[in-house]
Structures are given as structure tokens and as C-alpha cells.
Structure 1
Amino acid sequence: MTIGNDPGALASAILKVYESGDIARVDDLISPDLIDHNQPPGTASGIDAVRVLVGAVKEGFSDTRIEEIFQGLTTDGWVVSQWRMTGVHTGDWFGTPATGRSVSFTGIDLWRAADGRMVEVRHAEDLFQLQAQITA
């Protein structure tokens, strides 16, 4: 699939990377200089944070599906994506051992693209909703 400079296609492709766990694809879609305004503590750079999270989703969940609920483009070039992830908690998730429970949670990403890759992101995931499902 050729994405080119289409920010919406880039945002959708990134969701597919999280769904598939294809860490190698991250370098095609994300700038090495990604500015992540919500970067997890202890990660060296924005792109490293994406790699860590893609790997964690792949390790922690099976049957992962990510549905893009909404996508829009702002007048100043940001892509807004609301999504829902479903899966089964079959591996370690940041210290929480596998429970075998089904999960469903949502999030919102705001991406900015330049030169065919994402260069900036703001995001909010409902991790409270997820944690409640795997620790209840």
C-alpha cells in the first residue's frame, strides 16, 4: 500500500501496526525525531516509545483488533483518530501477568505528518478502563 503524504492513511496504517505487532513497520511510518507529548517514562525517544508499546501490545494480548471509530483532519494538518482495541490478555502487560480475560478499551490519537511520516503525536488511552478489566 502506498501511503505517500496522506496523513489519514498514515494514521490508519499505524493502528494496523499496533494490531499486527509489526514493529519493523514503525520505521516506515514514524519519523526518528517523533515528538511524543505523552511519552512513557524511561523511553529514549518518541519512536522508541512507539516500538515499546507495539511490542507490549503484541506480548500482552492475542486476537488483537483495532477498530478506527472516527478519523478527521484539522485545518492545520493534524489527524484525529478515535479507536477501540479488543483482545485477550494472554501475556504480561507492564507487570500484570496474563489473566485470559477479554478486553475492550478506547483511545484518541492526534498525529501530525511531514515528509511521509508522522513527526508529532498527542494521545490519550483509557488505561483505567483496560486495567479494571484485567485486574477485576
Structure 2
Amino acid sequence: MSSTITTEQRNSELARRFYAELVTGPHPELLEEFVAEDAVDEASGGTGGREDFRAHLAWIAESVGGVTATAVDTVAEGDRVVVFWRIEGVHKGDLFGVPATGRRFAGHSVSTITFRDGKVVRYRVLPDRLGIIQQLGALG
């Protein structure tokens, strides 16, 4: 039996670690380990590079206290991984236009992460904004 790990398995494990080690906390000191210098974080709306990821992590830290981000499932093909993940924490700052409520919430997101040489080069996320906003009591 072969113990060779495939590119897909390696990238899926990196994606899981991305959420567990980098986003949970968050831990921006791990950016160089996980993110290529020329990476693009499409969620940040920036111009590219690790600083966009740093800004995204800072926004999470300002918005969500005690954040836990967990990859629930992954689907990988080649250099791309689709991650179904869950975020949990306390709403402590502006989140999707809703001022801090102090409420606990849990939300689901789907992300696409592209890897090159074991590092993230492109990140795209589709969060369940409506579900989160409802939990924060911002809708009717």
C-alpha cells in the first residue's frame, strides 16, 4: 500500500490548517507560512498581497470575539480547494453593516482557495450573510 500523499490531500489539509491556525484567533503572525507574497484575497477588496489578508484578519478580530473557524468539509481538485466552513464567536464590532450586539452567532461559508507550492495564492469566500444578520437580530 502506498503512503504517497496527493496534491489534493495536501492542499485540503493546508486549507483546514488555514482556518484552524490562521483565522481562529486570528493569528496574523502565521501569514508568511500560509500565504504567498503575491496572493490575492478577493474578500478584502484590496490590491493583492499579504497585506490584504492581514486586513481581512484584522477585520475578523475587530468584529468577532473568541472566533473559531472550522473547516467542515473540503473538495479538492489540483491546486484548488473548496472549503465548507463554520465561524463562531461573539459579535463585538461592525459585521456586514450591523453594529456590535454582543450576541453569540455561528455562520457557514464556502470558500475557494487556490494553492501554489503549498501556499495560498487566491482566496474567495461566500458567507451566509443573511443567516448571520438574522442571528444578530438585525432583521425584523
TM-score category (smaller protein): 0.7 to 0.9
Partner of 2:73: 70
Partner of 1:26: 31
Conserved? CA contact 2:80–2:112, under 8 Å:
yes
Are the structure 2 counterparts of residues 132 and 50 from structure 1 closer, same or farther at C-alpha, using a change threshold of 3 Å?
Answer: farther
Conserved? CA contact 2:69–2:88, under 8 Å:
yes
Q: Structure 2, unaligned stretches of length 5 or more?
A: 1-6
Conserved? CA contact 1:19–1:65, under 8 Å:
yes
Partner of 1:103: 105
Partner of 2:133: 131
Partner of 1:61: 64
Partner of 2:83: 81
Q: Which runs of 4+ in 1 moved over 6 A?
A: none
Higher-RCO chain (CA-CA 8 Å, sequence separation at least 6): 1
Offset, 1:95 = 5.7
1:45-78 Cα offsets, whole Å, 9 max, x none, are 153332112111112212222222111211x331
Larger Rg: 2
| Overall identity of the aligned pairs, in % | 22
| Residue 11 of structure 1 pairs with residue 15 of structure 2 | yes
| Residue 52 of structure 1 pairs with residue 51 of structure 2 | no
Two-structure CA RMSD over aligned residues (Å)? 2.1
